[in-house]
Structure 1
Amino acid sequence: MSDSEPAPSLYAAREPIFPRRVSGKFRNLKWYIMAVTLGIYYLTPWIRWDRGPSLPDQAVLLDLAGRRFYFFWIEIWPHEFYFVAGLLIMAGLGLFLFTSALGRVWCGYACPQTVWTDLFILVERWIEGDRNARLRLHRQQGWDLRKARLRLTKWVAWLLIGLATGGAWVFYFADAPTLLRDLVTLNAHPVAYTTMTILTLTTFLFGGFAREQICIYACPWPRIQAAMMDEDTLTVGYRDWRGEPRGKLKKAPAAAVPEPQGDCIDCMACVNVCPMGIDIRDGQQMECITCALCIDACDDVMAKIGKPRGLIDYMALSDEAEERAGKPPRKVWTHILRPRTVMYTALWGLVGLGLLFALFIRSDIELTVAPVRNPTFVTLSDGSIRNTYDVRLRNKHGEARPFALSIKGGEGMRIALEGVEGTIVEVPADTALLQRVYIVAPSQAPASAAATSPVRIWVEDRDSGERAYKDTTFNGRGN
């Protein structure tokens, strides 16, 4: 390379992709999923759920201040984080299952990046027109009043969608009607405004400008999916043995011998509708999100030229040899029901059943006991020995309950509560109350730091009769 030649760039500038509008069963399925998922996201914080006078009435609420997660009739406490961990495990296994069976079907239909990008492209198409109109506007040199008006209208619409997205997110962390009033009157916490601003801008940039770049460069899943797929995975592919050699559609003269030609007429419809800008006829690629829009586009062209559908279709590599030989493709269920997918389904179901079992057997009252170690015991003036414990009582009911404490395991031992007459303490609704508890043993032998005896502390809900216990040790007195 001579000194006058510029050094080659290691970075290729992004070529904007303007997908063409397409109709078909897969496009309609994507519309349905987009409507359902966006509806769930935007409307869920406004669903009310009556839990009683002292509890929030929002159906789904991540109450960080109160350290609670409310999901309709389910309430998750901080020490029950294993429920959240179990749901994350189920989500991971579900992703493995769908990828093993149908490739990147999650990416193509339900991934938030895909859903919001589809919404942004829909708005862009409404304002600027279909693919050719958007291409002409993009290639137009310079700005005029029309281009400025269209671009400004589109960007304002995108920002409003981003604002609604960020606003809906913060509504999951506080009472939605109250927070909305505070946001409008500028009385909300700065964290709410900061979160909304960040999510508004990221939604605007990711859905409006980055689009496929997020899927290709930022998302790790395209690089992991190969480990989840095998030759029986159904994914979008091109039947080159049927489509090649491709060529333009033309009618041969009656006397001429037609040249051999496949069904593909090289119309580029599959490329023009692809939101990732790839050519599926080049084979399976990392960028493909299995959205199947190319199937709709190709099937439409095949119907117009009188060819059978399926030139581009959901297919498995294991079917290639048989189809090349002229045999029909195998049934779909033979690809889906195989050892890998059955194993993922079984694991997913086991985790789900385990979570349901843990949910139904958990108690509405709980306690934790922490012995006070400084000092481990105190010898009183009458020779009796006293241990101190911090007992945290959890009342998961929607109303205050009287909890009675008692002990078992030490002969002659008695229990006393700090600041309370007797052994009954009132625990407020849906609260964990920290209570200082004293256990006193009569003097029967000289106190010894090495002498311990087991003790069981019981708590009973005097209204329902439900009981719970926790084992601990009493220091300074042997059995």
Structure 2
Amino acid sequence: MSSTDQNPDRLYSAREPIFPRRVSGKFRSLKWWLLAICLGLYYLLPWVRWDRGPNLPDQAVLLDLANRRFFFFWIEIWPHEFYFVAGLLIMAGLGLFLFTSALGRVWCGYFCPQTVWTDLFILTERWIEGDRNKRVKLWNAKWDFRKVRLRMTKWTLWLAISIATGGAWVFYFADAPTLFWNLITLQAHPVAYSTILVLTLTTLILGGFMREQVCIYMCPWPRIQAAMMDEDTITIGYREWRGEPRGKHRKAEGAELLGDCIDCNACVNVCPMGIDIRDGQQLACITCGLCIDACDEVMDKIGKPRGLVDYMALSDEARERAGAAPKSIWKHVFRIRTVLYTTLWTAVGVGLIVALFVRAEIDMTVSPVRNPIFVTLSDGSIRNAYEVRVRNMHANDRWFEISVTPNDVFQLEVEGGQNGMVQVPADATKLVRVYVIAPPNSAPAQSQSSEMRLWLHDIEGDERSYNDTVFNGKAAR
């Protein structure tokens, strides 16, 4: 009985340590494969090289916050293109809704960082201290040299994993080889060391000592998932109609009246959350499938069919009790809710892909200089000044021509340039001052404001971009 059961006035139950037993099966194997893939990607991705030219770090995945740009292999996201990041976040949210409504908390059971690192920490713990029974015995034993040695060894390995976790994270924000050398030579920025320290401590505490409490008390998703799931959602459940009444003595008198469950608690002993799936759907269940592997193993030993604990939909309960076959998995997966989520997810994805391929590789922004609004030249002409920021998203230096329309009225000069030409380095922006002049007796010179358009022409690539602005005349005083 937990401390909350003993004292119902308490809102928080003191943690009771959980020692999951080792289990083998298809879901445990799937989790090992996904753990290896997730950790491999996380630790190795910053070291993948990608040629980006002479002015940028050759890193395939880089979140360059200093220069406000994101790099993902051949894709480069500039500050003005943050809608790509927003779109990816929307897709991530819709994807989470989709998979939860169709298959329950598969994210929590297989892909969540808390689950992945907790599995890694439990694996290390089992390797050092032994399987469940040995770990329980060690937990209850008095402190002696052996217990101190095993605990220190385990905590040291946990700390090494946590440091590697925090260290790998900072490599996503700077050139990995350069930052690694700066870290070991103590030349890195203090922000890098402080980030590694914070992530090391959080990984060690959350993955090593809090574990299931993160999912129960800290994560909001178990409470949100109820809105995503319904009776057709496929999740882990216990076939009570088949397992009850449960009993241990299979050869005793009246054993033929018992269900298939022999009350061995194998499903409880392997659960990383320490719950009993036979009690029904619970907030703490992360649907990792380990209880299925454990129960199937027991069913094989006693000669009963597998699936006493299995992925199922609650809507099939009545059908199975009546002896009918459950609905097809496709009928559970493809229903109005999941089709709607899939449609929205696909629409956002297609929109991002289209935007990615049609985006211009050159761009400019125009800001009129307001102090003064205009200048009257010696011949009576009116001149306006503009700050023009030219963006070159190509991997090589480019020459650009800046022009104005209508060109039969306005003349254009680029400060420091000739014939409106300006050179912009690769993957960079350049701020130039542009002057637009109207003849003394022209309509733009005499009126308050006139519309005009500044053009940017890429000489090499023959791309064009424009920006509409206004020209202020004498009447604007």
Q: Tell me the TM-score range normalised by the shorter chain.
A: over 0.9
Dislocated runs of 4+, deviation >4 Å? 6-10, 256-259, 445-450
**Separation in 2, partners of 1:261, 1:362:** 67
Q: What is the aligned partner in structure 1 of residue 214 from structure 2?
A: 214
Contact 1:55 1:398 in 2 (8 A): no
Residue 463 to residue 257, structure 1, CA distance change in 2 (3 Å) = closer
Alignment RMSD: 1.6
Shift of 1:445: 5.6
**Separation in 2, partners of 1:11, 1:178:** 46
Q: How does 1:235-246 map to 2 (within 5 A)?
A: 235-246=235-246
Deviates more, 1:453-462 or 1:220-229: 453-462
Shift of 1:412: 2.4
Residue type matched to 1:144 in 2?
D
Residue 125 to residue 449, structure 1, CA distance change in 2 (3 Å) = farther
Q: What is the aligned partner in structure 1 of residue 452 from structure 2?
A: 455
Q: What is the aligned partner in structure 1 of residue 68 from structure 2?
A: 67
Shift of 1:303: 0.5
Q: What is the aligned partner in structure 2 of residue 368 from structure 1?
A: 365
Give SS of 2:257's match: coil
1:321 to 318, 328, 335: 318
Contact 1:20 1:272 in 2 (8 A): yes
Aligned residues between the structures: 469
Residue 178 to residue 217, structure 1, CA distance change in 2 (3 Å) = same
Contact 1:455 1:473 in 2 (8 A): yes
Q: What is the aligned partner in structure 1 of residue 134 from structure 2?
A: 133
Instruction: Confirm or deny that 1:270 pairs with 2:270.
Output: no
Q: What is the aligned partner in structure 2 of residue 76 from structure 1?
A: 77
**Separation in 2, partners of 1:452, 1:185:** 60
Q: What is the aligned partner in structure 1 of residue 124 from structure 2?
A: 123
Shift of 1:259: 5.4
Q: What is the aligned partner in structure 2 of residue 145 from structure 1?
A: 145
Shift of 1:257: 5.3
Contact 1:405 1:423 in 2 (8 A): yes
Residue 240 to residue 364, structure 1, CA distance change in 2 (3 Å) = same
Residue type matched to 1:434 in 2?
L
Contact 1:445 1:477 in 2 (8 A): no
Shift of 1:11: 3.6
**Separation in 1, partners of 2:255, 2:441:** 112
Q: What is the aligned partner in structure 2 of residue 412 from structure 1?
A: 409
**Separation in 2, partners of 1:442, 1:449:** 9
Q: How does 1:220-235 map to 2 (within 5 A)?
A: 220-235=220-235
**Separation in 2, partners of 1:65, 1:258:** 71
**Separation in 1, partners of 2:405, 2:216:** 63
Q: What is the aligned partner in structure 1 of residue 422 from structure 2?
A: 425
Which residues of structure 2 form unaligned runs of 5+? 1-6
Q: What is the aligned partner in structure 1 of residue 49 from structure 2?
A: 48
2:307 to 306, 310, 313: 310
Contact 1:395 1:430 in 2 (8 A): yes
**Separation in 1, partners of 2:328, 2:304:** 22
**Separation in 1, partners of 2:447, 2:434:** 22
Q: What is the aligned partner in structure 2 of residue 193 from structure 1?
A: 193
Q: What is the aligned partner in structure 2 of residue 3 from structure 1?
A: none
Residue 269 to residue 460, structure 1, CA distance change in 2 (3 Å) = same
Residue 155 to residue 456, structure 1, CA distance change in 2 (3 Å) = same
Q: What is the aligned partner in structure 2 of residue 24 from structure 1?
A: 25
Superposed CA offset, 1:188-208 (max 9, x none): 111110000110111000000
Give SS of 1:29's match: helix
Contact 1:409 1:454 in 2 (8 A): no
TM-score for both structures, normalised by structure 2:
0.96
Q: What is the aligned partner in structure 1 of residue 4 from structure 2?
A: none
Shift of 1:422: 2.8
Give SS of 2:267's match: helix
TM-score for both structures, normalised by structure 1:
0.95
**Separation in 2, partners of 1:208, 1:449:** 76
**Separation in 1, partners of 2:208, 2:48:** 30
Shift of 1:243: 0.5
Residue type matched to 1:127 in 2?
I
Contact 1:216 1:287 in 2 (8 A): yes
**Separation in 2, partners of 1:315, 1:196:** 42
Contact 1:410 1:454 in 2 (8 A): no
Shift of 1:437: 0.7
Q: How does 1:321-340 map to 2 (within 5 A)?
A: 321-340=318-337
Shift of 1:428: 0.8
Superposed CA offset, 1:416-472 (max 9, x none): 112223310110111011111110000116988962111111111111211111111
**Separation in 2, partners of 1:446, 1:264:** 93
Q: How does 1:152-163 map to 2 (within 5 A)?
A: 152-163=152-163
Residue type matched to 1:305 in 2?
I
Residue type matched to 2:455 in 1?
W
Which residues of structure 1 form unaligned runs of 5+? 1-5
